[in-house]
Structure 1
Amino acid sequence: MIIKDLFINFCIISTFLFFGNALFRSVRSNPRISPFVFKMLTGVFLGVFGIVQMQFTFKLDNGTLLDLRQIPIIVATVLSGGMAGIITTILISIARLWFSASITGVSFLGIANACITFVIAYFVFRTKPSFRYKWFMTALLSTLNSLLIFLLWTGFSKRTTLILFIVVLFSSFIFTYLLIERLRRYNKIYDAMSKEVQFDFLTGLYNYRGFTYKYNQLSQQKKITFSLLLLDIDYFKVINDQYGHSAGDAVLAQFAEVLCSSVRSFDYCFRKGGEEFAIILEHVEEHAEAIRWAETIRQNIQEHKFVIPDGRTVSMTVSLGIGFYPLYADDELLEKTDRALYEAKKGGRNQFCIAH
């Protein structure tokens, strides 16, 4: 029976951690969700995880019911910090009282166990050793803490009961650690591959592939309005011809920094190729607002002194085309904005034109 219960709990742990990892990867990548909100969501999610686990208990041979509520508390604290751990602990503690047939000393021992588990995880993971060492130390101390509370509750138990208690709890910690390590490695590989596929190695901006993906994603969501800016560095070929390609690379990297500092943190900057760039300004559909952003970018580029490898500085200007979604849709928006960029270059450069 213990083997069956252990298998069920391991399935619950795997399900919550796997789907939770996938869910929170997408949430974390959304620039509109602040770290504070992300930590709160993590705490709530793992609190629900703990409440579910409390419904699938192990029945030991002396009739004691054991659950694995410590695991989501540790996971929340380790992966998202103290705030998430506190929220998870509070939700589990409330549920412990809610599901109790009557509030007794045992109920408060269960809450004490949850709170002490949080304190252990919080302080152990503030130390410097490796993740593996800190996890095993947390698992060991949490197991000893739960064992102590178990003994305070039941008094002296049979040796087999104590051994079973320790084996179930500690093996669950080990299983969770192995699963989290696999997810951490997967996330690291996934992030590296995503960065290589969608980001430009020189500037750190989204590349053409990233632009295509993000543009298609936004243009298919009819409720999201945005302005599209297409930019060309004026006479960039002169930099390469006069100072060399290393100077050109240095200018491109600094140009990207100026672009990013000229827009909001949740806007998107892209290097489409060569000296061609693009910016997507979300929720900007008014001509006047888009013009203000374009003029800010143009002025910042014009006023910036770009440093090349030999220490000299050069000045640059930029031409821009401005288009609006959903005034124009999909391919039409790209075509008209590109035409506006051409008009800006043809009209003397260092200016912007609006798609029409």
Structure 2
Amino acid sequence: MSRKDIFYQHLIAFQGIDGKINDNDCRFLVTENDDSKENEFDLKNIITDKSLKKGDYITIDSIIYMVIDTQKVIDSSYIKGTIREALKITLESTLQDIHAVVDKVKGVYTQGQQLVEVHDQYNFIIPKSSCSYTSATPQNNLIIYSGGSYDAISIDDSKEGILIITGRFNSICVPHIYTITLNSSGESLVETDTFQIVASCTDNSVVVENPTIIYTSSDEAIATVNSAGLVTCFSAGSVTISCNYKNVSVDLAITVEEKTVETVISYNYAFSQSITQLKTYMTTTLTTFKYLDGVVAPTLHIDYSFDANTQALINSGKIVVTRKSDSSISIKNASVSTVTNIYLTVIDTETGTKILDNKAIVLAGM
């Protein structure tokens, strides 16, 4: 560390002030600039060992300044910057508020004689990083300042870090009052659900057709939102969808719950004897099976029924039906000696699902 660095280190420690360089808290030395009176500007100097460049904002006691020039201190790691107070302006194309050094254009001179007093022009010095204005389309480069709207008639981008924009008065600025309302302020959804945001926007109480709205999700792992306002849920949790129109923002709070996994239920059955030729005195036993996600269910209770003709044969004792268990029955051809079709229906009593629906069984006789 050089002697000069040690000198500045002590000065900042004992005589420096606390402030911010851009958004970073910092301690630095501030002095008055010797050229302030000559240029009729309130210039100050800042000395710091932090990164400093033209266009940076310096905050001191809630007042915002802009760095308009920098130079490296000889034989030192410290940087000296020249700063001026910056005032709030608005970039009309984006309604973005920024701070700029503002100078009134006082007049036009020729050979030392003032020809015309110019009251409607200002020079605005702004950081290049905060503005995409170019001289190619001046009609789109509008600046709002102190109640007026100004056309950018020239833009000097030759200096590192800053733009110098000359603005000419266009008209009195009528403040726009924008609103945005949504079709919902909160939704409870399930994983894989979608929800369409419907936004209504107004400009000075007039409904805006096809407004350009910027949608943002606070956590895209939980839910995303596309440029049309369609929300897609991915995982359980809470997420906020911010909907911004002309710097007016409204939020939609969404709670996403886990999707219940539905159990896949399936059935199978088997007859112990052929049901295409059940001869007299033969018995076949029907056993039914229930599967939950492919695994045999621990319990199954069935009910069964026959068509009317078969029921008459049962009532007369020619067919004997016996329940063997909750999930099986036996059917005996006791005395039917001619080829006869009977029809069996079996249901799961818990779900009401038909396992067999009018299943044909052929009694083949002797």
Bin for the TM-score computed over the shorter chain: under 0.3
Greater C-alpha Rg: 2
- The TM-score with structure 1 as length reference comes to 0.18
Structure number with higher helix proportion = 1
Using CA pairs under 8 Å that are at least 6 residues apart, name the structure with larger relative contact order, 1 or 2: 1
Quick check: which one's strand share is greater? 2
Q: TM-score, normalised by structure 2?
A: 0.18
